[in-house]
């Protein structure tokens, strides 16, 4: 089974802190040139809690139009105070043309609510959104609600889920869920980069982590080679490198990703609605060091980094007179 890397898309902003849709397109070009096999739009990395409902819909619709069916696109839909509100917004965002609506597990129960409450609300959500493919995501915000294996199995048994983004972190818990997730048409993605090699070898469909906003080529390489018996030495080496730098790229995220993309030649402004402080000189130096490491990974593994100069070349539009 083909393994897929699916980035959690960042949102570029212009100098007025409005969505920069031209740069959104350049980022999509960059991701696709790196070999990604899908997109998670309107997610935490997209600063979904810092943009309006209209912006969530406009951004997702723009991404769907530009991707134009080349790879699947999923997006978060569980916004609103009530289950009815969440269902209504899910219908709106599904109408943008995405392949599945992602539901944040922490949106369906308070931190002190039992699993019975969560399951009851998911059941109501499913009943209000018939025929819409759904996914789940154990998003860190508003709080991380990890699905137990039993709850995960119950939700899968409804037949409504097509997608799951897991943040269990502990390999044993990921393995337990993967044993349940062996269902035709269901995609299980691990969000934790330090798990990449292990999850892919245990049967995960792919990875969907923030590291794809820094060096997607490396994650694509891992997805393509984690199960290759002849490349296990390199697989283990790359995994150790990804694990080493992972805590560092989380600092000041998503600003860290936007600055890193600048180092790679993409003029993504370091403007964020979710992280309002400027990066410190020390933080920039750390990211420059990780960029140097990335170039070393590419050299050892024969990875060709995306040519961002080509990505930024002006588009040649067809002559309407022809």
Residues serving a catalytic function are: 137, 165
Let me know: does 193 contact 231? Beta carbons within 8 Å: no
Please write the tens of the pLDDT for every residue from 11-54: 999 999 999 999 999 999 999 999 999 999 999 999 999 999 99
The pLDDT score that the predictor gives to residue 313 is: 85
Q: Helix, strand, or coil here: 253?
A: coil
Span between the terminal Cα atoms of the chain, in Å: 43
Question: Residue 288 pairs with which residues in a beta bridge?
Answer: none
Which structural domains are found in the chain, ordered by start? 4-312 (3.20.20.70)
- Among 270, 242, 240, 274, residue whose Cα is nearest residue 258: 270
Q: Find how far residue 47's CA is from the centre of its chain.
A: 12
Cα dihedral: 255, 163, 145, 154 (round 10): 180
- The SS3 assignment for 162 reads strand
Token pair, residue 17, equals 């802190």
174, 168 Cβ separation under 8 angstroms: yes
Contact 234, 225 (CB under 8 A): yes
Please tell me whether residue 45 adopts helix, strand or coil conformation: helix
Model pLDDT, residue 277: 87
Helix spans in the chain (H): 21-34, 53-67, 83-94, 115-128, 149-157, 171-180, 196-202, 216-225, 232-249, 255-263, 281-301, 308-311
Per-residue pLDDT of the chain (322 residues; tens, 9 = 90+): 799 999 999 999 999 999 999 999 999 999 999 999 999 999 999 999 999 999 999 999 999 999 999 999 999 999 999 999 999 999 999 999 999 999 999 999 999 999 999 999 999 999 999 999 999 999 999 999 999 999 999 999 999 999 999 999 999 999 999 999 988 899 999 999 999 999 999 999 999 999 999 999 999 999 999 999 999 999 999 999 999 999 999 999 999 999 999 999 999 999 999 987 899 999 999 999 999 999 999 999 999 999 999 999 876 555 555 5
Q: Indicate the DSSP class of residue 17.
A: S
């Amino acid at each position: 089974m083909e393994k897929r890397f699916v980035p959690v898309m960042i949102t570029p902003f212009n100098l007025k802190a409005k969505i920069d849709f031209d740069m959104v397109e350049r980022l999509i070009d960059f991701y696709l040139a790196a070999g990604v096999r899908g997109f998670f739009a309107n997610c935490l990395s997209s600063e979904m809690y810092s943009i309006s409902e209209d912006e969530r819909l406009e951004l997702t619709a723009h991404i769907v139009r530009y991707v134009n069916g080349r790879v699947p696109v999923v997006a978060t839909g569980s916004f609103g105070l009530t289950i009815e509100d969440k269902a209504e917004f899910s219908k709106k965002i599904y109408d943008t043309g995405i392949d599945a609506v992602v539901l944040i597990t922490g949106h369906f129960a308070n931190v002190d609510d039992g699993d019975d409450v969560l399951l009851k609300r998911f059941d109501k959500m499913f009943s209000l959104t018939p025929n819409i493919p759904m996914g789940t995501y154990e998003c860190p915000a508003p709080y991380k609600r990890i699905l137990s294996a039993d709850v995960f199995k119950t939700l899968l048994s409804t037949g409504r889920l097509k997608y799951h983004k897991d943040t269990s972190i502990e390999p044993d818990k990921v393995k337990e869920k993967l044993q349940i997730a062996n269902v035709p048409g269901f995609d299980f993605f691990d969000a934790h980069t330090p798990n990449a090699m292990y999850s892919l070898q245990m049967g995960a469909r792919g990875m969907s982590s923030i590291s794809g906003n820094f060096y997607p080529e490396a994650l694509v390489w891992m997805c393509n080679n984690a199960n290759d018996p002849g490349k296990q030495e390199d697989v283990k080496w790359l995994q150790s490198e990804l694990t080493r730098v992972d805590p560092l790229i989380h600092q000041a995220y998503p600003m860290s990703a936007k600055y890193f993309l600048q180092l790679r030649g993409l003029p993504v402004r370091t403007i964020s609605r979710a992280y309002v402080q400027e990066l410190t000189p020390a933080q920039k130096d750390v990211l420059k060091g990780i960029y140097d490491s990335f170039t070393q990974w590419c050299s050892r593994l024969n990875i060709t980094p995306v040519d961002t100069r080509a990505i930024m070349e002006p588009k040649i539009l067809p002559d309407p007179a022809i």
